Structure 1
Amino acid sequence: MAKESFIKGTLIIAAATLVARVLGVFQRVPLEHMLGSVGNAAFATSQNVYLMILAIATAGIPSTLSKMVSERYALNQVREAERVYAAALLFGLISGVVVTLLLFFLAPVYATAIKQPEAALAIRALAPALLLFPMLAMMRGYTQGRNMMQASGVSQIIEQILRVATAIALALILVNNGASQAWAAAGASFGGVLGSIGAFAVMIYYLRKLRRLDREAGVRARRSNTPPVSLKAIFASIFALSIPIVLASLAVPLVNFIDSSITVPLLSSDVGEATATHIYGILGQRAQSIAGIPPILAIALSTSIIPVISAAYAKRDMQHLQRQISLAMRISVLSGMPIVLALGVGAFSINGLLFSSLDGAGIIAMLTLGTILQITMMTSSSILIGLGKPYIAMISVTLGIILKLIFSFVLAQFIGVYGIITATMITFLIITYLNLRVMKKVVKFDVMGKRWPGFMLATLLAGGLGYLTERLGEQLVGITAQSVKYGEPLAVVPHAGHKIGFMFTAGFVGIVVLVVFIVGLVVFRVVRRDELGSYPRIVQKVLRPIMQIQKVGSRG
Structure 2
Amino acid sequence: MNRTDSKQSLMKGAMILSIGVLVSRIIGMLYRIPIRNILGDEGQSLYGVAYSIYVVILTLTAMAIPGALSKLIAERRAAGAYKEAQRVFRLSMMYSLGFALIMSIGLWLGADFISDTFYKSQDVALPIRALAPTIIVATSLGVFRGYFQGRGDMTPTASSQIIEQIFNVIFSVVLASYFMQTTHKNLVWGATGSALGTGIGAVAGFIVLIFLFIKKRPQDKMELEQSREYTYQSNGMILKQILSMMIPVIISASIFSFMTSIDQSMISSILPKNIEYLRNNNLLGVVPVIDAPIYSTASIVNQLSGQLSFQYMTFMNIPVSLILQLGLASVPAIAAGMAAGQVEDVRKKTKMIFKVGMLIAAPSAIAFMVFAKPILTLVVGDSSGSELLSAGAIAILAIAIAQLSAGILQGISKQSIPTINALIACGIKIIINLIALSNPKLNIYGFVHSTTICYVIYSILNMYYLQKYLKLKMNWKKILIKPTFCAAIMGLLSLAIYKGLLLLGIPMKLTILIVMPIAVVIYFIVGVGTHTIVKEDLSSIPGGRKLISLLKL
Scaled to the shorter chain, the TM-score interval is 0.7 to 0.9
- 1:208 deviates by 3.6
| SS of the residue 1:507 aligns to | helix
- 1:13 deviates by 3.9
| Cα distance change of structure 1 residues 541 and 142 upon mapping to structure 2, 3 Å threshold | closer
Query: Contact between 1:266 and 1:409, CA under 8 Å: does it hold in 2?
Result: no
Whole-angstrom CA distance in 2 between matches of 1:282 and 1:123: 20
- 1:505 deviates by 3.1
| 1:132-154 Cα shifts (integer Å, max 9, x gaps) | 22233223334444566544443
Larger deviation: 104-113 or 453-462? Answer: 453-462
- What are the residue-to-residue correspondences of 1:474-513 with 2, within 5 Å? 501-511=507-517, 513=519
- 1:276 deviates by 0.9
- 1:523 deviates by 4.1
Query: Contact between 2:311 and 2:386, CA under 8 Å: does it hold in 1?
Result: no
- 1:528 deviates by 4.7
Residue 461 of structure 1 is matched in structure 2 by 489
- What are the residue-to-residue correspondences of 1:89-168 with 2, within 5 Å? 89-112=93-116, 113-115=118-120, 117-145=122-150, 149-168=154-173
Whole-angstrom CA distance in 2 between matches of 1:33 and 1:447: 47
Residue 435 of structure 1 is matched in structure 2 by 462
Residue 208 of structure 2 is matched in structure 1 by 202
| Cα distance change of structure 1 residues 525 and 409 upon mapping to structure 2, 3 Å threshold | same
Aligned-partner residue type, residue 139 of structure 2? P
| SS of the residue 2:270 aligns to | helix
Whole-angstrom CA distance in 1 between matches of 2:488 and 2:368: 15
- 1:41 deviates by 0.4
- 1:18 deviates by 3.5
Whole-angstrom CA distance in 1 between matches of 2:346 and 2:210: 39
Match among 368, 375, 379 for residue 343 of structure 1? 368
| Cα distance change of structure 1 residues 184 and 359 upon mapping to structure 2, 3 Å threshold | same
- Correspondence 1:184 to 2:190: yes
Residue 389 of structure 1 is matched in structure 2 by 414
- 1:39 deviates by 0.4
- 1:186 deviates by 0.9
| 1:286-342 Cα shifts (integer Å, max 9, x gaps) | 111111122244344565455554455555655544433222212111222112222
Query: Contact between 2:437 and 2:443, CA under 8 Å: does it hold in 1?
Result: yes
- 1:544 deviates by 7.7
Whole-angstrom CA distance in 2 between matches of 1:378 and 1:32: 30
**Structural RMSD (CA):** 3.6
| SS of the residue 2:532 aligns to | coil
| 1:235-272 Cα shifts (integer Å, max 9, x gaps) | 22211122123334456544433333322323111213
| Cα distance change of structure 1 residues 79 and 213 upon mapping to structure 2, 3 Å threshold | closer
- 1:473 deviates by 6.4
| Cα distance change of structure 1 residues 90 and 34 upon mapping to structure 2, 3 Å threshold | same
Residue 423 of structure 1 is matched in structure 2 by 450
- Give the alignment's TM-score, normalised by structure 2: 0.82
Q: Which runs of 5+ in 1 are unaligned?
A: 478-499, 549-556
- 1:38 deviates by 1.6
Query: Contact between 1:248 and 1:390, CA under 8 Å: does it hold in 2?
Result: no
- Correspondence 1:237 to 2:241: yes
Larger deviation: 317-326 or 232-241? Answer: 317-326
- Give the alignment's TM-score, normalised by structure 1: 0.81
- 1:392 deviates by 1.5
| SS of the residue 2:23 aligns to | helix
- Correspondence 1:284 to 2:289: no
- 1:84 deviates by 3.8
Residue 525 of structure 2 is matched in structure 1 by 519
Match among 265, 270, 280 for residue 266 of structure 1? 270
Whole-angstrom CA distance in 1 between matches of 2:404 and 2:191: 34
Aligned-partner residue type, residue 466 of structure 2? M
Residue 40 of structure 1 is matched in structure 2 by 44
Whole-angstrom CA distance in 2 between matches of 1:407 and 1:141: 36
Whole-angstrom CA distance in 1 between matches of 2:223 and 2:146: 23
| SS of the residue 2:393 aligns to | helix
- 1:395 deviates by 1.5
Aligned-partner residue type, residue 445 of structure 2? Y
Aligned-partner residue type, residue 167 of structure 1? S
Query: Contact between 1:297 and 1:336, CA under 8 Å: does it hold in 2?
Result: no
Residue 57 of structure 2 is matched in structure 1 by 53
Q: Which runs of 5+ in 2 are unaligned?
A: 276-296
| Cα distance change of structure 1 residues 537 and 170 upon mapping to structure 2, 3 Å threshold | same
| SS of the residue 1:517 aligns to | helix
Query: Contact between 2:24 and 2:162, CA under 8 Å: does it hold in 1?
Result: yes
Larger deviation: 394-403 or 533-542? Answer: 533-542
Query: Contact between 1:302 and 1:331, CA under 8 Å: does it hold in 2?
Result: no
Whole-angstrom CA distance in 2 between matches of 1:116 and 1:544: 62
- 1:23 deviates by 3.0
Residue 387 of structure 2 is matched in structure 1 by 362
Whole-angstrom CA distance in 2 between matches of 1:475 and 1:359: 23
Whole-angstrom CA distance in 1 between matches of 2:172 and 2:520: 34
Identity %: 24
Query: Contact between 1:373 and 1:425, CA under 8 Å: does it hold in 2?
Result: yes
Query: Contact between 1:28 and 1:289, CA under 8 Å: does it hold in 2?
Result: no
Whole-angstrom CA distance in 1 between matches of 2:148 and 2:537: 35
Query: Contact between 1:136 and 1:199, CA under 8 Å: does it hold in 2?
Result: yes
